[in-house]
Structure 1
C-alpha cells in the first residue's frame, strides 16, 4: 500500500504550521492537486500556541480608530534589524497584512480584538482559540473538504530536482519506516526553523544552549532547511532566535507549561530586581518591555536571579502585574494564584526557587556572595526611596524596595519561541541558490525564509512572526500558481 494517494502532485507542502496550512489551502483553492506533509502525529506545530498576527490598516483597527503607519512600521523594523531585514519583503508584507487578516476571517477565523504588547504598537490581532483554533477549526478542515491530501507521521527525508525541474520527494512513514518517492512540480517548505536542533543551534548561533529554553512544539529541527541546502539553496540569515526574556526551567514538566504560570511571569517578566551570579545589578530591568532585548541582556551574564520580596508579591496580587506574558498572563492581571504557585514550588523543592527570611540567608541559598547581595539591595532600596535609579536610570515607578520577608530568588534561564531564517528568498518566496538565482518551483515560508529580521526579533510590532507565516504561505502559493501556469 502506498503512503500517498497519488504519485505526482502539482504542489507538495512540507510542514503543517501556519505557513504550511496557508500555503496548502491557497494552492487547493487555486485548483491544484496538493499534498501537505506533517512528520508528527498532530498538525499545527508551534503555530498552535500563537496568540495573534500582525497587521496595519485592518478592518478591526479601523473599527477601533487605531491608525499605525505601514511605512513607519517598515522603517522601524528595518532599522531595528540594523538593515539586515529586507525592506522589499517588509513592504509587501505590510501592504498585504490587512488583507491577510480578512482572508483568515473569510476562512472562518474569529478575532477577540486588537492590542499592543509591552511598549509596542496595537498591531496584534488576537484570534479566538489561539493558533490551534485557527488551524483545526478553519484552515485544515477546509483544505480537506476541498480535496486536499494530508499525511501525518510522514517525513520528507530527501529532495532531488530533475533536469526538467520536477521535484522528487522521498517520503518516510514514521510508524512503519516504509519509504517511497513521489514527484511534484512545486515544493513549498514550511518546516518552522531549527530551534529544536541542538547541532544546528550550536553551529549557527552564539547562545549558551544550557540556558536556552525552547518553548515550542519541539518539531523545529531544520529538516526543510537541510533539504533545500542539499539542492543548492543558499544558507542565509542564520543565527537568530526569538528570545523572550526570563523563563523558569522545571525539569519535571514540558517547557510550554510555564507559559500560563503567574509565578513564571512574576519571576521572569517584571521590571523589578535582577542580580547576576556575583550579586550585582547589570541592567535597567525594564528592558523586559522589549523581550528580545531582555533575552540579550540576560545573556550578558553567566547566571541571573530575579528577586521578589513579599511586599511586591502582595502588590501584584492586589493591583496586578507590571508586565504579562502575551495573553497567557495578561499585562495588569491580578496575580491571584501567585503566592499559591510559589508555595507549591518551594514545597516541591523545585531547583529554580529559593526562599529565605533574610537577604543574607537568601544569598547563601543562591550561592552568591552575601556581602555583594546585601550591598546591592541596600543601594537599590536607597535609590527606590529617593525616586532615582543612580546606576542605570530605571523609571522610578519600577524601583520597588526589597524589604519585606520572606524573600524569594528565582534562577532565570532564557526562553525562546523559534528561529527565523536559513534560506535566501525573493519577495515571491522563491528560494535562491548560491549564485543568487531562483531555484524554479521551490518556495520557502515562515521561519525558514530569511528577510524579516536581523539578529533579534522586533517585538514592538507584535504578531509579525505568526502574521508572516500566514502571509508568506499564501504568497508562496499565489506565486507558485503563476509558475505552474
Structure 2
C-alpha cells in the first residue's frame, strides 16, 4: 500500500496552515495536480487559533470609512524593524492586502468586522469562527472538492533537487514509520516555523526558554526550514519569536487554555503594577499596549509579578478590563468570572500577586525569499520551483513583531501562500 495516490505531482505543499491552505487551493484552482501534506492528525496548525488578518483598503474598511495609508504602513513597519524587514516584500504585501481579503471572502471565508488592537491601526479583519472556520469551512473543503489530495499524519522528511528541475520529496507515514518518495515540479514550504523545537529555539534565539510559554498548535518544529536549508536555501531572519506579554502557567492545563482565561488576562495583560523578585518596578506598564515590547520588557528581569489589589479587581468586574487579549477576551469585558471563581481571601492584606511568564505565538523567518516567495540560495540566486511561505519565510520582521498593524502575521501567511502559488503557475 502506497502513502500517496500518485508518484508525481505538479505542486507539493508542506504544511496545512494558513500559508499551505492558500497555496494548495490557489494551485488547485489553476488546474495543477496538488499534494498537501500535514504531519499531524488534524489540519490548520496554529492558524486555527488566529483571529483575523491585516489589510489596507479592503471593502470592509471602505464600508466603515476607515482610511489607512499603505505608504504610512510601509514606512512604520520598516522603521519598526530597524530596517531589517524587506521593504519590497512589504510593499507588495500591502498593495495586494485588500485583494487578499476579497479572495478569501470569495472562497467562502466570512469576515465579521474590522478593528484595531491596543493602540494600533484598524487593519485587523476578524473572521467568523477564528482561523479554524476560515480553513475548515471554506478553503480546505473547496480544495478537496476540486480534486486536491490531502494527506494527514504524513511528514516530509527529506528534499532533493534533481537535474531535470524536479524535486524528490521523501514522505513518512507517522502512524507506521514507512517512507516513500514522490516527485514534484514545485515545492512550497509552509510548515509554520520552529517555536516548538526546543533545540532549534536554543540554537537560533537568545530567549530564556524556561520562562517562555509557546501558545500554538505544538507542530512548529522547523520541518520546512530544515528541508529548505538542506538544498542550499539561505538561512535568514531567525532569532525572533512573536512575544505577547505576560502569561500564566497552569501545570494542570494545556497552554492554549489560558488564552480565554479572565484570570490570565486580568493578571498578565493589563497596564497594572509589575515588579521584579525584589519588589522593584522596572518599566512603564502601559508597554502592554504593544504586546511585543511587553514581552521584551518582561525578559529584562529574572522574575516578574503582576500585583492586583481589591480596588482594581472590583473596577474590572464593574467597568471591564483595560486591555483584552485579542478577541479571546476583548477589551472592556467585565471580569465577572474572575471575581466569582478565582479570588480567595488574602489574610495579610487585600493584594494578589501572579508570577508572569512570557507568552509566544510563533517564530517568523528562516529562509530568504524574494517578492514572489521564491527561496534564494547563499549567493542570492533563486532556487527554481522552491518557495517558502508564512512563518518559514523571512523579510517581514526584524527582532520584534509589529502589533500596531494587527493581523500582519496571519495575513502574510494567507497572502504569501497564494503569492507563491501564483508565481509557481508562471514557472510551470
Q: CA deviation digits over 1:183-216, x for unaligned, max 9?
A: 0000000000000000010011110000000000
| 2:26 is equivalent to residue 82 of structure 1 | no
* 1:445 alignment partner in structure 2: 389
TM-score by length of 2: 0.99
Q: Give the structure-1-normalised TM-score.
A: 0.88
Tell me if the contact between 1:263 and 1:341 (Cα under 8 Å) persists in the aligned partners: no
Kept in 2, the 8 Å contact 1:357–1:407? The answer is: no
Matched, 1:481 2:413: no
The residue number in structure 1 matching 2:57 is: 57
Report the 3-state secondary structure (helix = DSSP H, G, I; strand = E; otherwise coil) of the residue aligned with 1:210.
Answer: helix
Looking at structure 2, the residues matched to 469 and 458 of structure 1 have their Cα atoms a distance apart, in angstroms, of 15
Does 1:187 find its partner at 2:187? yes
CA contact (8 A) 1:168 1:182 kept: yes
Equivalents in 2 of 1:82, 1:340: separation in Å?
Answer: 45
* Corresponding residue SS for 2:209: coil
Provide the residue aligned with 2:24 in structure 1.
24
Q: d(CA) in 2 for partners of 1:165 and 1:276?
A: 56
Q: Paired residue for 1:169?
A: 169
The residue correspondences of 1:102-113 to structure 2 (distance < 5 A) are 102-113=102-113
- Alignment of 1:357 with 2:301, yes or no, is no
Contact 1:84–1:451 (8 Å) recurs in 2:
yes
User: Is the 1:234–1:423 Cα contact (8 Å) retained in structure 2?
Assistant: yes
Partner of 1:466: 410
Q: Helix, strand or coil for the counterpart of 1:225?
A: helix
Alpha-carbon separation, structure 2, partners of 1:449 and 1:157: 19
- Give the deviation of 1:89 after TM superposition: 0.2
Given candidates 420, 432, 436, the residue that maps to 2:376 is 432
Q: Counterparts of 1:281 and 1:292 in 2: how far apart (Å)?
A: 19
Measure the CA separation in 1 of the matches of 2:77 and 2:118.
16
Unaligned runs of 5+ in 1: 347-354, 359-404
**Contact 1:191-1:220 within 8 A present in 2 as well:** yes
Residue 207 of structure 1 aligns to a residue in which SS? coil
- In the alignment, structure 1 residue 10 sits paired with structure 2 residue 7: no
Equivalent in the alignment of 1:423: 367
Q: Give the total of aligned pairs.
A: 428
Maintained 8 Å contact 1:37/1:154:
yes
Q: Distance in 2 between matches of 1:460 and 1:320?
A: 23
State the match for 1:199 in structure 2.
Answer: 199
Task: Note if contact 1:441-1:480 (Cα within 8 Å) is conserved in structure 2.
Answer: yes
Deviations 1:129-185 (A, max 9, x none): 000000000000000000000000000010001111210000000001111000000
Map Cα deviations across residues 359-409 of structure 1 (whole Å, 9 max, x no partner): xxxxxxxxxxxxxxxxxxxxxxxxxxxxxxxxxxxxxxxxxxxxxx42110
CA distance in 2, matches of 1:226, 1:81: 25
1:221-242 alpha-carbon deviations (Å, 9 max, x no partner): 0011001101111110000100
1:154-165 mapped onto 2 (5 Å cutoff): 154-165=154-165
In structure 2, what is the Cα distance between the partners aligned to 1:27 and 1:336? Answer: 48
Q: Which residue in the other structure is 1:283 paired with?
A: 283
**Contact between 1:262 and 1:341, CA under 8 Å: does it hold in 2?**
no
Tell me which residue corresponds to 2:132: 132
Partner Cα distance (2:341, 2:196) in 1? 28
Could you tell me how far apart the structure 1 residues matched to 2:188 and 2:341 are? 44
Q: Supply the distance in 1 between the matched residues of 2:207 and 2:274 (Cα, whole angstroms).
A: 20
When the two chains are superposed, the root-mean-square deviation of aligned CA atoms in Å is: 0.8
- Structure 2: gaps spanning 5 or more residues: none
* CA offset digits 1:325-382 (Å, max 9, x no partner): 0000001111111123423xx6xxxxxxxx7333xxxxxxxxxxxxxxxxxxxxxxxx
* Whole-angstrom distance in 1 between the partners of 2:253 and 2:160: 40
1:71-98 Cα offsets, whole Å, 9 max, x none, are 0000000000000000000000000000
Specify the alignment match of 1:413 in structure 2.
357
Which of structure 1's runs of 4+ aligned residues deviate more than 6 A?
Answer: none
**In 2, Cα distance between equivalents of 1:418 and 1:139:** 22
